[in-house]
Structure 1
Amino acid sequence: MHAAFFALLGASLARFLLRHPWAELGPWVVALSVALAVLYVLPVPHRLPWLFTVVAVWMVLVVLAPSFALCAVPLLYAGLRTLPPRAALVLVTLLTVFVVAALLQLTDAGVDPVLLVAPPAAAAIATAVFVHAQRQADRLAATERREGTLAERQRLSMEIHDSLAQGLSSQQMLLQAAERTWDSDPAAARRHVRTAESIAERGLAEARRFVHDLAPADLAGGVGLEEALRALAARESAHFRVDGTPVALPERVRSALLRIAQGALANVREHADATSAALTLTYLDDQVVLDIADDGRGFDPRTARRGVRGHGLPAIRARAEQLGGTLTIESAPGEGTVLSVSIPSIPLESRP
């Protein structure tokens, strides 16, 4: 549209100079044409005064040289972009009437029906195209906002499930164990209570971290992924090993791997009835792999369903896929389970 404006402005000026070479009004027409071109590209903080200034200069040009009426369509779009819908339609109507009056001055054959019909038709088409495009853009923006909201809700639900909900579940189990052993083994009961207190403290830290930036509390203060996973494994009585040469990972990848480990070990604790579990973090050339293995009762991955809390394996798979990774499950009833999550070490937005 900008290119069309300057092409029409140049053509109108050329037509005037060819038909009226430096006539009495020539310097004024040239000066106003240059002024209109400068105003059109001039960056301004307030669009409304700019619009009326441009339209006013253009109207003066049309009065001096009616052929400049051809520049109306780009100015119509400028008005439609700048003004509210009703005000824009009023401006379109006024400019269309002005263009018709100017074009009628270019003909010597009296009233020309084409000149009476063509400008309003062109203005109607231009307005319809603009309104349609604007509605499509608004629908697209609304769709993207809705999809972004749903994605954010899913992300938050996974964050809460893998941290706060798992912590509350652990506290419940520990307090139930303490209640059962309170009379028979007070020392063990007190240990369960102290452990539940420690988990509650970590849950409070996670809640505060959510309020701050939703990053895992275990990664706060510059703690590395290996150290965070080692601390998590110690709390869950699991083994931890690092293979390969560690590399710097994006924060999103580190957070996702830690959340995946938290969710997987929580599943082991609550459902696997395992005697041992192990975390293995492996650095390859272009990806990082996290394996969570246990010797529990296992399951059939083909018939696994979503848990009552709504997450678990689906949440782990979703986290991996969001970063361009994959989840592989090896398990069978009575044979334990191995979850393997592979995530590219280069984030998707950084790839060529």
Structure 2
Amino acid sequence: MAGMDGEGTRESSWYGETEERWFRVLLHVGFFLLLGSSLTRFLMRHTDEGRAPWVVALAVLLAALYVTGTTPSGARTGTGIRRPWWLGAVVAVWIALVFLAPSFAWCSIPLFYLSLRTLRPPAAAALITLLTAVAVVAQLRLAGRFDLDLLLAPPAVSAIAVAVFVQMDRQTQRQRRLIADLVRTRRELAATERREGTLAERQRLSMEIHDTLAQGLSSQQMLLQAADRVWDGEPATARRHVRAATAIAEHNLTEARRFVHDLAPADLAEGGGLEEALRALAARESTGGLRVRCHVDGAPDRPLPGRVESALVRIAQGALANVREHAGAGTAALTLTYLDDQVVLDVADDGHGFDPAAALADTGGVRGHGLPAIRTRAAQLGGTLTVESAPGEGTVLSAAIPLGVAGGPPV
């Protein structure tokens, strides 16, 4: 999004500069057309008059001054239209030219725009009033008699020209503000999306760690505590517990390395597929007095997406972690069922049960990363989580994931 913001800013700036450039081109072309037509008209009618050389010289000087102040080189050297003294020189030459040849009065129209672009509003208004008054006097002199139209026409043209420029300038400023607001909004949206993505990634990592490393460490702790209790009286049992803890530590090491690569479950990465991954998980969890069985019912019509298989393995890991840590169960069962439109993973145990509503509402502690995390994983793939339990009656957890899921975030 940052790149998009920069691109949008450049694009809007390009459009604004293009419009400004075309306006300046039209303004300059209009000025020289008026200047050229006025000079042509004068020369066609007054060539033999003594003032003709002065008119030609002043017209050339006015053109030179105008070019000096409006070309890119003039702007770079500091003599552009932002310099009031340059505009004053142009206006002074123009007034002298109008005094000698009133037909040059119409060149004042481009000077209106230069005044508004160069001076502050009060000074620009005063200069435009002066230009209009000079144009009125020039037209009356040219007509040789009093004419109400000539008295009113220049102020009307002046008012229209100023109104057009002011309206265009306001629209330009409004457009620039809108573009600035749009760019700012896009940047804020990009920042919000980055924050949401960071939070989502943190949540995903916390679930991954809880369902793998934390579960393995908890199992190791329980096995080592059991080994410590029977170390003197039942050394064979103690060694069996230690070997089981060692196997879990080895698996946790594999999971930790997998985090560094692509965060896929280690059982799936071994290439056996979802069913073999669940069977390996059941065999690994069958320690310390808990026996876990795995059963697969049916077969998929087509291979499941990798993110669905990964989610189901993580759901099974999280569910069995809850069974081991909280249920006090002796047996548990993993059942994977392929239906026509969904795949269902059931995790059942014969433990002491609990209140599902209270557990799902809990957001703290270990359980806060258990059932809520499982529910989040299922929801990310458009699935549902159902928990059936009651104190003293065991628990059945059922996660249903619809088949053919094409969207959803990776898990």
- Per the TM superposition, whether the score is higher than 0.5 is yes
> Larger radius of gyration, structure 1 or 2?
2
* 1:307 to 1:169, Cα distance in 2 relative to 1, 3 A: farther
How far residue 119 of structure 1 moved from its aligned partner, in angstroms, is 2.1
Is the Cα contact below 8 Å between 1:99 and 1:119 reproduced in 2?
Answer: no
CA-to-aligned-CA distance 1:176-200 (integer Å, 9 cap, x gap): 1111111111111111111111111
CA-to-aligned-CA distance 1:313-342 (integer Å, 9 cap, x gap): 111111111111110011111111100000
Match for residue 315 of structure 1 among 370, 373, 385: 373
Q: Is residue 249 of structure 1 aligned with residue 304 of structure 2?
A: yes
How far residue 122 of structure 1 moved from its aligned partner, in angstroms, is 1.2
Across the aligned residues of Structure 1 and Structure 2, the Cα RMSD in angstroms comes to 3.3
Is the Cα contact below 8 Å between 2:113 and 2:162 reproduced in 1?
Answer: no
Amino acid at match of 1:232: L
Q: Is residue 146 of structure 1 aligned with residue 200 of structure 2?
A: no
How far residue 113 of structure 1 moved from its aligned partner, in angstroms, is 2.6
* 1:98 to 1:211, Cα distance in 2 relative to 1, 3 A: farther
Is the Cα contact below 8 Å between 1:100 and 1:115 reproduced in 2?
Answer: no
Is the Cα contact below 8 Å between 1:260 and 1:319 reproduced in 2?
Answer: yes
Which residue matches 2:253?
204
* 1:59 to 1:155, Cα distance in 2 relative to 1, 3 A: same
How far residue 267 of structure 1 moved from its aligned partner, in angstroms, is 1.0
Amino acid at match of 1:190: R
Counterpart CA distance in 1 for 2:276 and 2:270 is 12
Counterpart CA distance in 2 for 1:288 and 1:256 is 12
Counterpart CA distance in 1 for 2:364 and 2:329 is 18
Match for residue 121 of structure 1 among 156, 161, 170: 170
CA-to-aligned-CA distance 1:226-249 (integer Å, 9 cap, x gap): 110011111123111111222311
* 1:133 to 1:307, Cα distance in 2 relative to 1, 3 A: closer
Is the Cα contact below 8 Å between 1:306 and 1:312 reproduced in 2?
Answer: no
Is the Cα contact below 8 Å between 1:66 and 1:102 reproduced in 2?
Answer: no
What is the TM-score when the length of structure 2 is the normalising length? 0.61
How do 1:39-54 residues align onto structure 2 when only pairs under 5 Å count? none
Counterpart CA distance in 2 for 1:226 and 1:232 is 10
Query: Among the aligned pairs, what percent are the same residue?
Result: 62
Q: Structure 2: 5+ residue runs without aligned partners? A: 1-9, 32-81, 83-109, 117-127, 129-152, 287-291
Amino acid at match of 2:247: S
What is the TM-score when the length of structure 1 is the normalising length? 0.70
Counterpart CA distance in 1 for 2:11 and 2:324 is 62
Is the Cα contact below 8 Å between 2:318 and 2:370 reproduced in 1?
Answer: yes
Counterpart CA distance in 1 for 2:113 and 2:266 is 70
How do 1:73-222 residues align onto structure 2 when only pairs under 5 Å count? 100-101=113-114, 109-110=157-158, 112-222=161-271
Which residue matches 2:387?
329
Which residue matches 1:298?
353
Aligned length: 277
